[in-house]
Amino acid sequence: MDVNNQFAGPQRVVITGMGLISPLGNSVESTWQGLINGKSGCGRITLFDTSNIEIKIACEVKGFDPNAYFTAKESRRMDRCAQLAVAAGKAALADANYVITDDNTYDTGIIMGSGIGGVNTLTNEHAIMMSKGPNRVSPFAVPMMLPDTATGQMSIHLKIKGPNFCVVSACASGTNAIGEAFELLRSGRASVVLAGGNEAPVNAFAISAFHNMGALSTSNDDPLHASRPFDAKRNGFVTGEGAGVLVMETLEHAKARGARIYAEILGYGVTNDAYHITAPDTIGPAVAMRIALKQAGSRADHIDYINAHGTSTSLNDSNETKAIKAVFGERAYGLTISSTKSMSGHLLGAAGAFEAIACVKAINESIVPPTINYDNPDPSCDLNYTPNVAVKKPVHVTMSNSFGFGGHNASIIISEYSE
């Protein structure tokens, strides 16, 4: 690594690889096929016994075998959230055809977002302490439960030694991680960054906590239709798990190594509501979108597709609709919008990464995934949410929004790449 080449900015930033483990499939392509076919990833919970809790449904990752990626010892010392992240990271690196060497390892970084980190480890080890005593708590509990457990494990397994940290901003974490990677690359502080999000919150504690605050759908008897963003009968989000990783690099670096370029990141906006710890505001999200659009410049004059935060909660969906109208005015009614959370559920800190990948695929395939389960129009949500069926159309420029508890707002602009 030639440190004298750092801080050359501003650089153009492109996406050259993607990896995804999700409720719809354990690859980008299988997930994408699920999205454009309107497939729901929701079902009855299998990861733990739900007999003593009220919520019985979630969007679980299916068929994920840690033994395909790790030794038995490695698996025991990694929370599920880290296992998913490393698997997605390996897939993204392979997709980008980028090999880590002694020459590039310090010029390659990792920035991941996670809202609650290794919550499975935390709850499991607490149960052990209460039943067997404090001396039985695992010495690996702390490094397994920290939110940055995934970035640390990714660096070890992928041999990446450059900038490495975790963004924790609730449900905006994944988008913030991508945005911060964008800024890191623009400034010339790295040539390549793996960025995205990871989460594995399908356990009794996390689901009970979200349910008790009134955030989750209670449609236990109809899981396939439980997540219904923007629909008048929406009654909460569905908890999801997964990990998504983008390989992002400066255009100069990508061209020099002959990389395939999927798309380009043009802008990133980030704000906070300073309003309420859980209830959304309208002004903060709107300002974040405006900042992203301003940084993107004239190439973002026409947004072809917005992947909305669209959680399927009453306040979020109506407030995001208001924010989009505030930014785009009358043009809002001509925008194509959808919430892929209708199919994936809410992946919390991984949601932004999942949705950024959906935007890239929409650009590459000229297809907008739908918002499924949109059957009952809501007067407060009166835009075009691509109801129930994917739409074929040219997609040149996209916006992806993420809003999190704590008032966190993040918006990124992803476009097709052109010289």
Map out the domains of the chain as residue ranges.
14-256, 267-415
Using the predicted structure, report yes or no on whether residue 5 has a pLDDT greater than 80.
no
14-256 and 267-415: same fold? yes
Average pLDDT rounded to a whole number, residues 179-207? 97
Q: Does domain 267-415 have CATH number 3.40.47.10?
A: yes
Q: So what's the architecture of 14-256 in CATH?
A: 3-Layer(aba) Sandwich (3.40)
pLDDT at 193: 98
What percentage of the chain carries pLDDT values higher than 90?
Answer: 94
Catalytic residue among 42, 81, 171, 359: 171
Average pLDDT rounded to a whole number, residues 190-212? 97
Catalytic residue among 309, 359, 381, 408: 309
How many other C-beta atoms are found inside a 10 Å radius of the C-beta of residue 157?
Answer: 18
| 381 given a catalytic annotation | no
pLDDT in tens, 133-160: 999 999 999 999 999 999 999 999 999 9
| 309 given a catalytic annotation | yes
Catalytic residue among 42, 346, 381, 408: 346
pLDDT in tens, 228-248: 999 999 999 999 999 999 999
Average pLDDT, the chain: 95
Q: Is 235 exposed, middle or buried (0-12, 13-18, 19+ CB in 10 A)?
A: middle
Enter the pTM of the model: 0.96
pLDDT tier, 300 (very low <50, low <70, confident <90, very high otherwise): low
| 225 given a catalytic annotation | no
